[in-house]
Chain A
Amino acid sequence: TQLLEQSPQFLSIQEGENLTVYCNSSSVFSSLQWYRQEPGEGPVLLVTVVTGGEVKKLKRLTFQFGDARKDSSLHITAAQPGDTGLYLCAGAPGNQFYFGTGTSLTVIP
């Protein structure tokens, strides 16, 4: 059983379209992180959300933390080919640090 479930697992869209990736858990987190990973590289931290209901924007990326701090979403507006990659949510219930199942995004020019 995965602590953090992401959906969808795979997403292939045309350049300019919008998309949303979801990260869900039955556990409460004090904070959640979103990472982006490119092939052959380690994950790179995009953002940390810490307050229930919080919304953070990073250019065309909008991150939201659920009110109950059990879920989060990532919305990309007007996707570009450079957004292609594996998106991972992550969080720490205690000293462990767990990652979600991942969403592989392909943006077609």
Chain B
Amino acid sequence: NAGVTQTPKFRILKIGQSMTLQCTQDMNHNYMYWYRQDPGMGLKLIYYSVGAGITDKGEVPNGYNVSRSTTEDFPLRLELAAPSQTSVYFCANRQELWIAGPGFGSGTRLTVV
């Protein structure tokens, strides 16, 4: 989905470091999501947002924070990185139609050492 852009594509962090994964969209969708995916597994929802200024926790929010100051941007913050946060992170957006499924960015592969 060219409408969702994630940066960086790859990152190595040391234990205890912090970083922000950037996600921006050019499709003006109110719904945005952050997922993490471990090898060969499905996606687990970290946080989601239904519009600027509104965020909520998903299945696995511990160790992460998000903000949604604009419709376009939905950054994911990792504080005090831990090896368990080694994963691929996907940002997605979605239309406000009940039958619509999310469209995804290309992902950020994060390794914590």
Contacts and interface: CB of A to CB of B under 8 A. Distances in A.
B14 to A, nearest CB: 24
A2 B45 CA distance: 11
Interface residues of B, number: 28
Interface string B35-48: 10000111111001
Interface in B41-77: 41-45, 48, 50, 56, 58-59
Contacts of A43: 43, 90, 104
B42 A101 contact: yes
Contact of B1 (A40, A42, A88): A42
7 contacts: A40-B107, A97-B31, A98-B45, A98-B59, A99-B45, A101-B42, A102-B40
Interface of B: 1, 31, 33, 35, 40-45, 48, 50, 56, 58-59, 90, 92, 94, 98-107
